[in-house]
């Protein structure tokens, strides 16, 4: 088989917006030289790790069956140690390199230049006890913020969303584009393949809004809708 690589990102297992376990299993069942899962597999912002692993055991088992796989930690994922427990014997990292002939790329989740993640991550820690207290009186704070996120994500064609994503994309290329020909990410839930300042920027998309993934074969990246 010629070299064929799969890049898939942002499954968000645990989110009620994820409703395509069998479709993901079908994608993972293809023949690949290497599979890269580019972050946000387990959505700990929604449910406990134990509940998610139990609920999606079929998909977790499928991932664990794969021999050539790299798992990148995303900002919604649990710790590296927890991911290593869920996926024993697999490579679980924060970033890795991707090589094709004379060219190389970096595979990262892509959240490091998202100001809402880097600057305001403390908010989730503050909200945790508040969420617990509100749940006791029947108010689901997570559902409120999920609906807010879903509303914002549905405004992907709005200028302010494009500006936010533009800044993230160009910051990633500015940092890594001098060393790598390819920058492969997820995180923004905005699937695309484009050349930025001579660097090929690849975003795999997600599985709660777009159901997309990326195939690299014969020297080319291809964005696929499930």
Nearest CA among 185, 180, 187 for reference residue 214:
185
Cα dist from 210 to 18, 83, 204, whole Å: 11, 25, 10
Position 120 scores a pLDDT of 44
Position 225 scores a pLDDT of 95
How many domains does the structure of the chain reveal? Answer: 1
Position 28 scores a pLDDT of 98
Query: Cα separation of 23 and 180, whole Å?
Result: 32
Query: Cα separation of 39 and 54, whole Å?
Result: 19
Residue 21 belongs to domain with CATH number: 3.60.21.10
218: left (phi over 0), alpha (psi -120 to 50) or beta: left
Q: Are 16 and 208 in contact (CB under 8 A)?
A: no
Domain limits for position 203: 4-225
Phi then psi for 118, rounded to 5 degrees?
-75, -35
Bridge pairing between strands 220-225 and 212-217: antiparallel
Position 191 scores a pLDDT of 94
Buried b (16+ CB within 10 A) or exposed e, 148-173: eeeeebeeeeeeebeebbeebbeebb
pLDDT beneath 50, residues of the chain: 1, 117-123, 131-132, 134-135, 147-148, 150-152
pTM exceeds 0.85: no
Task: Print the SS3 string covering 6-63.
Answer: EEECCCCECCCCCCCHHHHHHHHCCCCCEEEEECCCECCCCCCHHHHHHHCHHHHHHH
- The residue whose two tokens read 């940092």 is 175
Q: Are 104 and 68 in contact (CB under 8 A)?
A: no
Strand arrangement, sheet containing 91-93: 91-93, 69-72, 34-38, 4-8, 212-217, 220-225
Phi then psi for 154, rounded to 5 degrees?
-75, -5
Rounded CA Rg of the chain = 17
> What do you get for the CA distance between the two ends of the chain, in Å?
23
Tokens describing residue 215: 């195939």
């Amino acid at each position: 088989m010629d070299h064929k690589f799969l890049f898939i990102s942002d499954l968000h297992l645990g989110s009620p917006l994820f409703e395509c376990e069998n479709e993901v299993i079908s994608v993972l069942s293809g023949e690949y030289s290497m599979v890269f899962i580019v972050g946000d597999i387990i959505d700990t912002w929604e449910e406990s790790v134990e509940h998610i692993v139990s609920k999606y055991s079929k998909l977790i088992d499928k991932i664990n069956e794969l021999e050539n796989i790299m798992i990148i930690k995303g900002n919604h994922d649990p710790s590296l140690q927890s991911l290593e427990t869920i996926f024993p014997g697999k490579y679980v990292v924060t970033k890795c390199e991707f090589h094709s002939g004379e060219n190389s790329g970096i595979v990262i989740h892509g959240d490091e230049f998202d100001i809402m993640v880097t600057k305001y991550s403390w908010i989730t820690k503050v909200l945790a006890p508040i969420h617990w207290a509100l749940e006791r009186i029947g108010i689901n704070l997570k559902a409120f913020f999920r609906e807010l996120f879903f509303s914002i994500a549905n405004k992907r064609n709005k200028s302010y969303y494009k500006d936010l994503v533009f800044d993230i994309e160009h910051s990633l290329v500015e940092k890594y584009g001098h060393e790598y020909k390819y920058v492969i990410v997820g995180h923004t839930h905005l699937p695309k393949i484009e050349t930025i300042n001579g660097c090929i920027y690849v975003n795999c998309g997600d599985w709660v809004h777009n159901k997309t993934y990326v195939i690299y074969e014969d020297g080319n990246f291809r964005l696929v809708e499930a």
